[in-house]
Amino acid sequence: MKIACNVTGQAALIAELVNLATPHRQGGAVVGRLAHEELVGAFATKLDANARTALHADPSAGPRLAELATELRRALLAADPSITARHVNAMIRKYGAQPYLPEDANGPFHLSFHGTAGSAVDTLAGGLATTLALIMDGYGPDRFGECRAHHCDAVYIDLTRNNSRRYCSMACTSRAKTAAYRTRRHTI
Ligand SMILES: [Zn+2]
């Protein structure tokens, strides 16, 4: 059985939102927190046209997105899988995530888990929280982490087959490889 809902795309969105909204170090530089309007603008570019329009029309989107990012980061970096599960369950309840099939006459149908608590951010948040639950179930509880590269604490979600991801981005992967090469050369 192939699960149709777009876990891969949603997982990338979760990491994007957390890294846009929370201050962190990336590549040795401190990346500040985006102001609320900047956060809405930057995150909206990652969404499909309908979700983008809804987000821009929601006057409370900025602070609500920042709050959601804090909740997601807390879940991703919890010390224990049972604590991650508790955070994920709390988000599913808070945002009223419900499964439904969008009524698109032209199909194909894709199961969605939008939130039902009212605002555009609630709609998004329900889907993102459910995505974390699906990853916990389908991939295992050890798929979330903080980048291992020097001076980077961006988050990542690992959907590789062999659970091998350790870095937030291609840039940090190559930075870490270069650093390891230099260390080896100095120690030979
Ligand atoms: Zn990184």
Give the pLDDT confidence of 32-86 residue by residue, as tens digits: 888 899 999 999 999 989 899 999 999 999 999 999 999 999 999 999 999 999 9
The three-state secondary structure class of 120 is: helix
- Domains in the chain, CATH or no CATH each: 7-187 (1.10.3300.10)
Model confidence at 118, pLDDT cuts 50, 70, 90, reads confident
Position 1 scores a pLDDT of: 42
Position 63 scores a pLDDT of: 96
Give distance in angstroms: CA of 175 to centre of ligand 1.
Answer: 9
pTM of the model: 0.90
Comparing 77-81, 106-110, 137-141, the range with the smallest average pLDDT is: 106-110
DSSP H helical ranges for 45-169: 49-56, 61-76, 81-95, 120-138
- Residues 66 and 26: their CA atoms lie apart, in Å, by 19
Ion ligand 1 neighbours, Cβ < 5 Å? 147, 149, 152, 154, 168, 172
Task: Pull the structure tokens for residue 123.
Answer: 């709609």
Per the CB < 8 A criterion, the answer to whether 84 and 144 are in contact is yes
Give distance in angstroms: CA of 28 to centre of ligand 1.
Answer: 9
Per the CB < 8 A criterion, the answer to whether 51 and 40 are in contact is no
What residues contact 51, with CB distance under 8 A and at least 6 apart?
44, 120, 123, 124
Model confidence at 188, pLDDT cuts 50, 70, 90, reads low
Per the CB < 8 A criterion, the answer to whether 131 and 14 are in contact is yes
Give 154: exposed, middle or buried? Use CB within 10 Å, 0-12, 13-18, 19+.
Answer: buried
Give distance in angstroms: CA of 164 to centre of ligand 1.
Answer: 15
DSSP assignment string, 41-62: HHHHTTS-HHHHHHHHT-TTHH
Comparing 3-12, 58-67, 156-165, the range with the smallest average pLDDT is: 3-12
Q: Give tens-digit pLDDT for 19-41.
A: 999 888 877 788 888 889 999 99
Give distance in angstroms: CA of 64 to centre of ligand 1.
Answer: 25
Task: Pull the structure tokens for residue 101.
Answer: 């099939």
Give distance in angstroms: CA of 166 to centre of ligand 1.
Answer: 9
Comparing 77-91, 95-109, 164-178, the range with the smallest average pLDDT is: 95-109
Task: Pull the structure tokens for residue 94.
Answer: 């808070």
Give distance in angstroms: CA of 121 to centre of ligand 1.
Answer: 27
Give distance in angstroms: CA of 188 to centre of ligand 1.
Answer: 27
Element (H, E) at 166: none
Is the model's pLDDT at 6 over the cut of 90? no
Give distance in angstroms: CA of 171 to centre of ligand 1.
Answer: 7
Give distance in angstroms: CA of 114 to centre of ligand 1.
Answer: 30
Give distance in angstroms: CA of 5 to centre of ligand 1.
Answer: 27
The mean pLDDT of the chain is 90
- Residues 167 and 175: their CA atoms lie apart, in Å, by 10
